[in-house]
Amino acid sequence: MPTVTVAVNGRGLGIVMIRLFVFALIAGLLPSAASAQPCPGNDNALGTERVLKVDAATTPRVGRKHFPDTLPLRDKELVLTFDDGPWPTTTPKVLNALKAECVRATFFLLGRNVDAHPQLARRALAEGHTLGHHTYSHPLLDHLPLDKAEAEINRGIARDELAAYGQSRSEPTTPFFRFPGFASSQPLLDRMQARGIVVFGADVWASDWLPMTPEAELQLLLGRIAQVGRGIVLLHDTKAQTAAMLPALLRALKTRGYRIVHVVAAG
């Protein structure tokens, strides 16, 4: 433990024990330790850098592929999102990959798939992921009358809520929604904003609705992420190629210095 002799008014008045390591801890080490999130079994995990609270009052619509603005992310910060699940052959693999890297994502659930596989929705929630909504049966909502479009949205929310939280309701616990095929309309967007529901677009996607190998998807997505630098990434946990590709993607993001942000509802 370091010590120094301190002179006061030119006179040595004794030895003052200065516990420099304590000051160092107060100044810097303790905050770092408090913010560190170790990943069991993986000391070099990608991890989740921070949590971002999102509110429809300030960010009603996000994702620059569809809207003027996106989430307030820093350079090389990404939000991972997955659509259309849960699916029994692929969603568990996606959840396993995320868990191995201590990464938290957002799942935009399809009500009919939640009806068939409610345990997977509950697993995603239990492992710390955010559950958003994606209608019940994936119609293009801009092709439907307004009342039928809203009924489809509400049916999906109600089924998701019942599976995840044990109560069927049309007002979601986490008010996040993504339009199937991004097929929105201004009246529907206005209704969602009035309900306090954030509409998610995307800043970059993997195009995993197209047939390709996991290796091809990885290279395509990494190239697109490099172009945008930050933003909301869209994938599908129903796609076998994406489930197979995801572990390599998470490792590559770590190597390239990207950081994961977990979005949650404000309030």
| Active-site annotation, residues | 83, 236
- Is residue 186 within 8 A of residue 194, CB to CB? The reply is no
- Is residue 135 within 8 A of residue 156, CB to CB? The reply is yes
CA within 13 Å, CB half, 124: 33
CA distance 33 to 104: 20
Backbone angles phi, psi at 165, to 5 degrees: -120, -5
DSSP3 helix / strand / coil % (the chain, rounded to 5): 40, 20, 40
Number of Cβ within 10 Å of residue 11's Cβ equals 7
Kindly give, in sequence order, each residue whose CB lies less than 8 Å from that of residue 249, ignoring residues fewer than 6 positions away.
218, 221, 222
| H/E run at residue 62 | strand 61-62
Number of Cβ within 10 Å of residue 61's Cβ equals 18
β-pairing, 259-265 vs 50-54, is parallel
At 229, list the tokens: 């630098």
**Residue with structure tokens 């009358």?**
145
Amino acid at 72: P
Amino acid at 160: D
